[in-house]
Amino acid sequence: MAKKKADDRLTPNEQNLYAGMDIIKDHRLFGKLDINLSIANKGKYPKGKLNKGTAALACESGDILLNPDESRTPEQWAYIIAHCMLHLCFGHFENDNMPGYFEPQKDGTEKWAAHCDHDRWNTACDIYIAKFLADIKFPGAELPPQELTASDERKIYDLLCNNTEEERPFVFSTASHGHDMFWNGVENSWWRRNRSYAAEFAYALADSVRSVIDEAGGKTDNRKKTVQESAAEWFIAHYPLLGALASAFRITEVGYGSAAPMNTDISVAAINVTEREIYVNTAAGLDSEEWKFVLAHEYLHAGLMHHERCEGRDPYLWNVACDFVINGWLCEMQIGKMPVNGGLYDETLKGCSAEEIYDIIVADIRRSSKYQTFRGNSRCDILDKGYAESKYKPVTLDDFCRSALRSGLEYHTEKGRGYIPAGLIEEIRALSEPPIPWDVELAKWFEDHFEPVGKKRTYARPSRRQSSTPDIPRPSYVTEEIPEHSRTYGVIIDTSGSMSPEDIGLALGAVVSYSVEREVPLVRVVFCDATAYDAGWIRPDDLAGTVEVKGRGGTVIQPAVDLLERDKDFPKEGPILIITDGMIERDLTVHHEHAFMLPRGYSLPFRARGKVFYFSRR
């Protein structure tokens, strides 16, 4: 910026000019821009380039020329300087941004050639800048007429070209003649060729927005940010895919040198998704690029809901499988640098899902127990199970994580902000789809086994009351006669003490409703805990009120299965539905079509051949 003279040697107009420059210097957005402000007759520009009534010019070379003889208030000078700065920041002198056409080249390619009326283009840019300053509530800014506003400068230029009426006066320009953009040859300015005002403005805008958010959130301390906090803010400002997640999670330092020394079991970092908190060990010795990698790793754990998708698997092995997938993606995306400690990466596993990797590593349990996550050797860096109720209402935790990644992906791809692996894109889009509720899946299972009872036309002999006209056929609909044994199934209910009455009632309620809907006349019921209890054939309506929790300890399901399969009264093709919490024997053989119903969060001790439905009260 221009240097100030001694105050006693300044004219009143110059004093107001310097006061306006001070306002810009202290502004939250424009104060962060390094743009040269030149005062006429005080530098390389003579005053002759400024007409009377012209307060300032934005030059193609990258300078802003100010007229010290103009009488303006400090607030008006601040608006004028901000206006001219935006001409440079929005790239109004760039040929690629100006109206024009594609010009064929000798090598067969096409190059954009600017072709427009510079005066009208100047007016369009002035209108666009005036609307921007009015939108950010800059003091003194006036909103242009609605008929002259559009989403970009080219559209405003087209509106001005199509406007047959007499052009409006240049009320949004800083020059009396309406042209405050001065083309003085961009090729002759090394400084202009080697500056990216658009990039500087983007950084300044992101930094100002972040400071506003900090103030709104009560973060008014002026302490120096830690390397971990700076890494988290980098995602908010420069990486849209993970920016929303980064803004939602709090960074908490752990270790001997922090305020929470009791959490010293964290080697590098860990995440608690339910509490929206990431724990980092300040003594890990990582640089800023390595912390970017670590934080992106934890953000993806939350966004891809790995805490929720464990589904009864071994938490540590599931954590390891997810780490292999995430670290592979981050290496492809070139986000930061992978640390040596805790960075699980295997090129041979590229393209595999977390579920596939889990099946691979669970086969070699001895080697798998020695993997090191970012929390440490044989420890999970996902600290919670993810089933606690979220305290952030009305949006649930899972909905927030899905929405944050989905919106981040859309913005990231629209703006071309960097490479994202195809596997990560597919997983984000898959998680964006609403999951099928367990009761809908159960209904589909009933539909597959019990087709709706249809009606058919019949021309059977009419009733005796129509005997007066026996020759007139009277077609009607009758229900098809289907043997009762073909529309039945068996229910094995685990009534041991580990099954709560609420879980049994919820599962049976769904079973009863779908049985009635599918017109199942009778259900064969077997209760079991340590032994099997045959309850015989029961109508679906009576099923919900006949269950008693026995509470005899462990449960053995095989006797109940054998009882049904060996019973001559039970259909050979009859399906079997087993309601249990998974605390059963490790070896279960079922020859009939079957399915399991388990409370969410529980798992079977073996790989099920039939369907598995996880029911929950939420």
Task: Tell me the domain boundaries of the chain.
Answer: 7-201, 224-432, 484-615
Select from 121, 138, 42 the least CA-distant residue to 85. 138
Whether the upstream peptide bond of residue 394 has omega within 30° of 0, thus cis, is yes
**pLDDT of res. 114:** 82
505: three-class secondary structure by DSSP: helix
**pLDDT of res. 314:** 82
**Backbone phi and psi for residue 272, each to the nearest 5 degrees, phi listed first:** -115, 100
Neighbour tally for 464: CB within 10 Å: 6
Q: At what angle do helices 227-238 and 240-248 cross, to 10 degrees?
A: 130
Contacts of 193 (CB under 8 A, 6+ apart): 186, 187
**pLDDT of res. 353:** 87
Give the whole-angstrom CA distance, residue 485 versus residue 569: 8
The shares of helix, strand and coil residues in the chain, as percent rounded to the nearest 5, are: 40, 15, 45
**pLDDT of res. 504:** 78
Q: Which helix (H) or strand (E) holds 305?
A: none
CA distances from 166 to 127, 163, 235, 311 (A): 16, 8, 49, 70
Neighbour tally for 470: CB within 10 Å: 9
**Which amino acid is located at 320 in the chain?**
V
Q: Which two tokens stand for residue 206?
A: 């992101």
Q: Which two tokens stand for residue 493?
A: 């209910």
Select from 62, 70, 72, 77 the least CA-distant residue to 40. 70
Q: Are 60 and 185 in contact (CB under 8 A)?
A: yes
Ordered DSSP codes for 466-493 = GTTSTTS---EEEE----GGGS-EEEEE
**pLDDT of res. 262:** 46
HSE of 287, CA atoms in CB hemisphere, 13 A: 5
Give the whole-angstrom CA distance, residue 436 versus residue 499: 25
**pLDDT of res. 459:** 62
pLDDT in tens, 210-239: 777 667 666 655 667 788 888 888 888 778
C-alpha angle 257/258/259, rounded to 5°?
Answer: 140
Distance of CA 274 to the CA centre of its chain: 16
Q: Where are the extended beta strands (E) located within 192-303?
A: 250-254, 269-272, 277-281
Give the whole-angstrom CA distance, residue 397 versus residue 305: 10
Q: Which residues of the chain have pLDDT under 50?
A: 169, 186-191, 261-262, 386-395, 551
CATH number among 3.90.180.10, 3.40.50.410, 3.40.50.2300, 3.30.300.30, domain 484-615: 3.40.50.410
Torsion sign across C-alpha atoms 429, 432, 438, 444? negative
